[in-house]
Amino acid sequence: MIKGVIFDLDGVLVSTDELHYAAWSQLAKMIGITEFNREDNQRQKGVSRMESLEIVLEKGEKCYSDAEKVLLANMKNDIYVNLLTDLDQEAVLPGAVEILMRLKKLEIKIGIGSVSKNTPIILEKTGLITYIDEVSCGLDITNSKPDPEVFLVAANKLGLQPKECLVIEDSKAGIIAARAAEMRSLAVGPEHKKLDADYCSESLSNELDWNLLLG
């Protein structure tokens, strides 16, 4: 019996995955990398900022020191945070609020499990914070997905056992992390069929069988 649902944030509840892509594309151009594309970006989903940078740098010739990599990651984050300036409830993906309201009514606990260190600002700006019981994010963990840490911290904060949690994810790293945490998983988004989750749906706005998902 599921007592809590742990949502990934970028690409599940909000469209910020597109802003990450825009910011990485801008950084790539600034350092002379023209080959960075959506396929590369797909691999960045769910992994940390530094690991995402490595995926960009694979497309170039130049080697960077650790200190230079930190500077590049900071540059990307500055671009990204700037793109977040105008973020509001319009960025919430279709169906998300309806599901959060339904879960609240059913007295299912709601958690966030995102490796993004920008999670608090995104939850505030979109107003989603009002629905969330506990947040586990990049600021709480040392290992990013596919390590299960972010979901285990979320379950712990919610006071639930892993088997009592359902994870909703849009990334391969996230579905592997949910499995490693021994949690049930629902994949959403453009890659939902490829992700080897327990259940999948193109979008949160599609009709979902909550008896099955929570049973």
Catalytic residues: 8, 10
Residues 6+ away with beta carbon under 8 Å from 161: 155
Identify which of 9, 55, 37 has the alpha carbon closest to the alpha carbon of residue 170.
9
Residue 36 is which amino acid?
F
- Reduced to 3 states (helix: H, G, I; strand: E, B; else coil), residue 13 is coil
Q: Does 126 bind ligand BG6 (CB under 6 A)?
A: no
Q: Does 42 bind ligand BG6 (CB under 6 A)?
A: no
Cβ proximity of 72 and 64 under 8 Å: yes
Q: Please, what sign has the CA dihedral across residues 87, 89, 95, 96?
A: positive
CB of 137 to ligand BG6, least distance (A): 8
41 is in an annotated binding site: no
Q: Which does 149 bind (CB under 5 to 8 A by kind): ligand BG6, Mg ion, none?
A: none
40 is in an annotated binding site: no
Q: Which does 192 bind (CB under 5 to 8 A by kind): Mg ion, ligand BG6, none?
A: none
In the beta sheet, which residues pair with residue 135?
Answer: 112
- Please report, in range form, the residues annotated as the binding site for Mg(2+): 8, 10, 169-170
**Rule CB under 5 A: which residues touch Mg ion?**
8, 10-11, 170-171
State the binding site for substrate.
8-10, 24, 52, 76, 114-118, 145
